Chains A and B, each alone.
Chain A
């Protein structure tokens, strides 16, 4: 019946092939990877399948049958209005108390003067002080050509999580506060380098973005 099984799929226009390649380079952000890491951590701590969703669904189903009873609709409407009024009044403080918000710092530009031999060490001015001395899990998204694993001795927890599209994501646990772990990167040649940093403790989660210009 179908002759196409033998002939293979029709070719795509050349521009479409290029767009497929571009799509192949899409990757999750460091922030998302960090979020997934935390979700798995929470799932492990809870140690149970996501039963909460199932019970929420059955609760929703029960609620729906109640709502479909026309005598209850007026009452539910009034309850809904009262709930919305309460939320409008309390929403800001309420949200703050429920979750650790992710904060995004503005982009920062950093200059590095490379010495005569062509290589220099840059210490990124990351805002570790927001964590009030608590240890933080750091995800560091850096150009692949910078071998961040030169830090392996000073950062025993350092892991290379992934490399894709010329960038690598490293993860480690860092001290913060007065004895904060310095974040040093060796840069061998002049150019523009982009770094994304996500660090989270129990109280704060911060995203930072640096663009470094290295010149002789």
Chain B
């Protein structure tokens, strides 16, 4: 292993749980979150010279994860559009053979290893993205407003405002989830 990569991996290692949670919060699917984390870390590694030490390393990585997420989502939207066009043409030749292949998520699929964490993740996903990220960084990762502001590239006042509104929505979403009848959830994580 080269010295540069060893140093980068050593820097990233303690931050992996937080970055992983950030990806899980952004994506609605575990596999997608893992792909996002990998792409973002590779990008960070290849462009590590651009980290100017002005803010925290974690904040810099958060920015890369967020940008990678936006870019991946745009690419996926373009690909879907392309695929729709092809399927439309194909279905005109083969009838309805291709029309049933929509991407339906498995409602039983868990992204977290404990049911409590899974419940919180479902509540976070109920929030609009701009509130979700701020609540995650403030309440789960316990970052200060200044750090969140730097990580997301938004003013501190906006962070506070989003935190306030996001927290209120999270509390409401949580109460709503608790009021629902319990669902059978497949076991995951450690035995």
**A interacts with B:** yes
Name the distance in Å between A22's Cβ and chain B's nearest Cβ: 4
Number of CB contacts from chain A to chain B under 8 A: 168
Q: Mark B171-191, 1 if CB is under 8 A from A, else 0.
A: 100110010000000000011
Interface segment out of the listed A66-74, A89-97, A124-132, A183-191: A66-74
Question: In the complex, are the beta carbons of B116 and A28 less than 8 A apart?
Answer: no
In terms of DSSP, what is the predominant structure of the interface of chain B?
A: helix
Question: Roughly how many angstroms separate A78 CA and B191 CA in the complex, as a whole number?
Answer: 49
Question: In the complex, are the beta carbons of B82 and A28 less than 8 A apart?
Answer: no
Q: Mark A9-49, 1 if CB is under 8 A from B, else 0.
A: 11111011011101111111000110111011101100011
Tell me the count of chain B residues lying within 8 A, CB to CB, of chain A.
64
Q: Mark B103-144, 1 if CB is under 8 A from A, else 0.
A: 000000000111011011101000000000000001111000
- In-complex Cβ contact of A15 among B5, B41, B46, B178 (8 A): B178
Question: Roughly how many angstroms separate A76 CA and B45 CA in the complex, as a whole number?
Answer: 39
Question: In the complex, are the beta carbons of B17 and A60 less than 8 A apart?
Answer: no
- In-complex Cβ contact of B86 among A5, A13, A24, A80 (8 A): A80
Interface segment out of the listed B31-39, B51-59, B146-154: B31-39
Name the distance in Å between B177's Cβ and chain A's nearest Cβ: 9
Question: Roughly how many angstroms separate A37 CA and B88 CA in the complex, as a whole number?
Answer: 40
Question: Roughly how many angstroms separate A39 CA and B94 CA in the complex, as a whole number?
Answer: 40
On whether A67 and B174 interact (CB within 8 A), knowing A9-B167, A32-B37, the answer reads no
Which residues of chain B are near A211, meaning CB under 8 Å?
A: 191
- In-complex Cβ contact of A64 among B45, B81, B141 (8 A): B81
Question: In the complex, are the beta carbons of A35 and B38 less than 8 A apart?
Answer: yes
Question: Roughly how many angstroms separate A117 CA and B117 CA in the complex, as a whole number?
Answer: 40
Q: How large is the interface on A (under 10, 10 to 19, 20 to 34, 35 or more residues)?
A: 35 or more
Q: Mark B74-99, 1 if CB is under 8 A from A, else 0.
A: 01001101100110111011100000
On whether A5 and B157 interact (CB within 8 A), knowing A35-B38, A77-B93, the answer reads yes
Which residues of chain A are near B4, meaning CB under 8 Å?
A: 44
14 contacts between A and B (CB under 8 A): A2-B161, A4-B161, A10-B167, A15-B174, A23-B21, A24-B140, A25-B117, A26-B117, A28-B16, A33-B16, A35-B34, A68-B85, A74-B89, A78-B93
Q: Closest 6 A-B residue pairs measured CB to CB?
A: A73-B89, A22-B116, A19-B120, A9-B167, A22-B117, A4-B164
Residues of A within 8 A of B (CB): 2, 4-5, 8-13, 15-16, 18-20, 22-28, 32-33, 35-37, 39-41, 43-44, 48-50, 53, 57, 60-61, 63-64, 67-68, 73-74, 76-78, 80-81, 107, 161-162, 164, 194, 211
Residues of B within 8 A of A (CB): 1-2, 4-5, 8-9, 13-14, 16-17, 20-21, 24, 34, 37-39, 41-43, 45-47, 75, 78-79, 81-82, 85-86, 88-90, 92-94, 112-114, 116-117, 119-121, 123, 138-141, 157, 160-161, 163-164, 166-168, 170-171, 174-175, 178, 190-191
